Structure 1
Amino acid sequence: MTLTLLTGGARSGKSALAVRRAARSGLPVVFVATGEARDDEMADRIARHREERPEGWATVEAPHDLVDAVRVLPPDHVVIVDCLSLWVSNLMERGDDEAATVAAADELGRWATAYPGTVLVVTNEVGLGIVPMHPVSRDYRDRLGRVNATVAAHADLAQLVVAGRTLTLDPRED
């Protein structure tokens, strides 16, 4: 019923904001995590994120098959998808091409708008800096930008998070 996209830079407060909004809802929450603990640093990040979440929330790990994972979620929950940035990286590493990735993002957006509950999607904005020198980095930046725009096109609300504060972006134009 409601899809909100929260985007911004690293450590801008996007995930914490999604957690606060979900907790305030009073509804059951499902946290859909796209990250994988492949090294100590990432394991530490995941542990810190888990500590921010209230006990009793369900967690679904979906580093690759995000759309399949959300399609089976029960209705009338708040669903947090955190985050598209890691998901796109995982798909690139797996060898998915850009067209397949953007198509999956469109499926996610379509699912979220039809879901009988609230969906909060977290993602990074990586396209505000200089053009990366390496082709893989440029591909990632461009692909994530297209994924973000695709999901945002479905969103009822899109907000840029900077220093824990939000700036509401213009509503989508149909």
Structure 2
Amino acid sequence: MYNNSNLHLILGGARSGKSRLAQQRAEQWLQSNNAGGLSYLATATAGDEEMSSRIARHQGDRGQHWQTIEEPIALAEALDASPKSHCVLVDCLTLWLSNCIHEGVWAREREALMQRVDQRRNNSENNAAPWIFVSNEVGSGIVPLGQLSREFVDAAGWLHQALAERADSVTLAIAGLPLTVK
């Protein structure tokens, strides 16, 4: 069920139902608000045929009332540019993290996102449409052997902690079921 919080973080493992849950919450916000719109901020890039199929499936799952914004790197800038009256669903933070690490801009882009989130909260944008962040919870498995994999898991963990601290609500999706964490 949708609540009136401004910043949501939805975590879960692969195929946990986190994207579907986020989409449902955004659509509930739109129904209860009777104003505004919905923006889907996609961080994925179609590097191969399998990923292209995943992206197409996700696009097909959303109705025509969704505006899609594709931004694999400059997430803070894309959030700033999104319509203020739209609930923005960011899917997914771990793909964004991977893109940023690959491009060597992780520290800069993480700082930009945290500054934008803090600015939004500090400026009391309480009437602003919510932002919903979706991310893969990768810290529940074994510690990876390779340096890059460990850096990724560490960065994802620190990102999730920073956003969870700032979020009005945090949900863990498990087997398609939401577990309220905060």
Q: Name the CA distance, whole Å, in 2 between partners of 1:18 and 1:111.
A: 23
Q: Is 1:53–2:59 an aligned residue pair?
A: no
Where do 1:1-174 residues align within 5 Å?
2-25=6-29, 26=31, 27-97=36-106, 99-110=107-118, 113=121, 115=125, 116-170=128-182
TM-score (norm 2): 0.87
SS of match in other structure, 2:152: helix
* CA separation of 1:40 and 1:112: change in aligned 2, threshold 3 A: farther
* CA separation of 1:85 and 1:100: change in aligned 2, threshold 3 A: same
Moved more, 23-32 or 38-47: 23-32
CA contact (8 A) 2:75 2:109 kept: no
* CA separation of 1:143 and 1:101: change in aligned 2, threshold 3 A: farther
Aligned residues: 169
Q: Name the CA distance, whole Å, in 2 between partners of 1:87 and 1:112.
A: 20
Q: Structure 1 residue 22: deviation in Å?
A: 1.4
Matching residue's letter, 2:48: D
Q: Structure 1 residue 96: deviation in Å?
A: 2.2
SS of match in other structure, 1:121: strand
Q: Structure 1 residue 101: deviation in Å?
A: 4.4
Q: Which of structure 1's runs of 4+ aligned residues deviate more than 6 A?
A: none
Superposed CA deviations along residues 86-143 of structure 1, whole A, max 9, x for unmatched, are 000000000125x434323413432554551111110010011100011110000000
Q: Name the CA distance, whole Å, in 2 between partners of 1:108 and 1:122.
A: 17
SS of match in other structure, 1:67: helix
Q: Structure 1 residue 24: deviation in Å?
A: 2.1
The alignment-based identity, stated in percent, is 40
Q: Name the CA distance, whole Å, in 2 between partners of 1:137 and 1:78.
A: 32
Pairwise CA RMSD: 1.6
CA contact (8 A) 2:41 2:90 kept: yes
